[in-house]
Amino acid sequence: MKNRKRWWSLLLGITCLLHILPVQAEEYWPEGPQIAGESAIVMEASTGTVLFEKNSHEQCYPASITKIMTSMLAVKNSNLDEEVTFSEDAVYKTEGSGISRDVGEVMTMRECLYGLMLESANECGYAIAEHTGGTYDNFVKMMNDEAKRLGCKDTHFNNPHGLPDEQHKTSVYDMALISREALKNDVFRMIVNTRRHTIPPTNKHQEETYLSNHHKMRNNYQGDERYLYEYCIGGKTGYTSVAGSTLATFAEKDGMTLICVVMRETAPNHYLDTRTLFDYCFENFQIWNVAEHEKSFEENVSESKIFEDESSFAGLNKEGFVVLPKAVAFEDAKPKIKKSKGDSSIIGRIQYTYADRAVGGTDIVISNVKVPEFKFQKKQEEVKLPEKKVIQINVKYIVLGVLAVMLLIGVVFGIYHLADNFYLIKYKIESRRIMKRSFKEIKIKKHRHRK
């Protein structure tokens, strides 16, 4: 806990150092297109960034796009191979679109989900609710609990299929939040992306049941190819007389996954408006990976040693993104660090805003990897310290060196003493000669004196 607080203190300091940007007179945001629908939104899935909105929090009847929530909860809370039995209520308390199931008919959850999302089968929605929730009413409660957990504030569900009900309402914003959560599930993605599917024979139907995706931007349903959209990866259609046409559509291009939800539309404007909005967003926005472009945070954290255990290291989650207009640089987004709660591996989160809009971010995580050596570059000239020279000592060579020196000293000493002896001998010889010469001269003098 102490180390976590110290990390947080550092992050607060880094907030002031991340980007010191000049004050801009105006932050550019592309002007959105005009559409016929009364309520619409486009949200980027990985960031939750709202790229376009029109009356996005106005409550509307969703009709069959309700089934996005139903299928998501079923996928989360059941196995695809579980057997679902159609009750009398599932068969007789639903009307409208369906695949003509019978009381007591048994299908796997997988086949029920295909029937629900491709053919918009209301009896499948009812049967899924009873099976997944234990009871129909409990499943409806699960729907509302999940909506609340996701942050939906305009939503109250009263059934799993979207048939008319005055208490069954939502907004395009909330449906985008629900769709964003659903798209995190690979099974959901697979089902809504399917153009056609065949249900094998059941205990009540000896023949196969052929399903075709009703979403005309994904499938040429009933031979209609006018609205096909090459980047569409699925979605859900909806229609009732009170709701009008509703449509949730998912599309991927240039690294972005977009969610478009329109309500209170008249056909075929729900398709036309959706395409117009997708084209506008793909042409005017781009996605940035935060970890690849946010350099200031990495430099400041890497330079600071807070933990005594240097193997602990704070870094940026590589799955975090920011969406900005194409005319804007990543550095133009304004970062702010927020403290996290709960998860001990996440210290906080960098959130970015631009033009007073939340445009994405990423988590700041603690990883158990050793911090690599980092050379922090500064503008001022660096002071270079003299290099330390390392001398390796070998004892054997030292001994031999000492012996050689001693031998040399001995030789010099011997020569020195030999020279001294030579001169001493020579001196003695000379002295003797002188003495002999002297003695000889003395004898000669004495001999002369006697004469």
Provide the Cα torsion 389, 393, 398, 400; round to 10°.
-110
The amino acid present at 250, given as its one-letter code, is F
What is the Rg, in whole angstroms, of the alpha carbon atoms belonging to the chain? 45
For strands 346-354 and 209-212, give the pairing: unpaired
**pLDDT at position 317:** 87
Residues in a beta bridge with 315 = 365
Cβ–Cβ contacts within 10 Å for residue 122, how many? 25
Q: From residue 133, how far is each of 94, 138, 335 by CA, in Å?
A: 18, 5, 42
Q: What is the pLDDT of residues 361-374, one digit of tens each?
A: 999 888 655 444 43
Task: Write the DSSP string, 9-62.
Answer: HHHHHHHHHS--PPPPS----PPPPP-SSSEEEEEETTT--EEEEESTT--B--
- The kind and range of the H/E element at 147 are helix 136-149
Q: What is the pTM of this model?
A: 0.75
- The CATH code for residues 39-285 is 3.40.710.10
**Residue for token pair 């009732």:** 240
Q: For the chain, what are the domain ranges?
A: 2-18+294-367, 39-285
Q: In one letter, which amino acid is 176?
A: A
Which pLDDT score, from 0 to 100, does residue 388 have?
A: 47
- Determine the pLDDT at residue 278: 98
The SS3 call for residue 212 is strand
Phi then psi for residue 201, to 5 deg, are: -55, 145
Chain CA centroid to CA 211, Å: 37
Containing 301, the helix (H) or strand (E) segment is helix 295-303
Provide the 8-state DSSP code for 169: B
**pLDDT tens for the 451 residues of the chain, in order:** 555 555 555 555 555 555 544 444 478 899 999 999 999 999 999 999 999 999 999 999 999 999 999 999 999 999 999 999 999 999 999 999 999 999 999 999 999 999 999 999 999 999 999 999 999 999 999 999 999 999 999 999 999 999 999 999 999 999 999 999 999 999 999 999 999 999 999 999 999 999 999 999 999 999 999 999 999 999 999 999 999 999 999 999 999 999 999 999 999 999 999 999 999 999 999 999 999 998 776 555 544 443 334 445 668 889 999 999 999 999 999 999 887 776 667 888 899 999 999 999 999 888 655 444 434 333 444 445 445 444 454 555 555 665 666 666 665 555 545 444 544 455 455 555 555 554 455 445 445 544 4
Q: CA 249, CA 235: separation in Å to the nearest integer?
A: 4
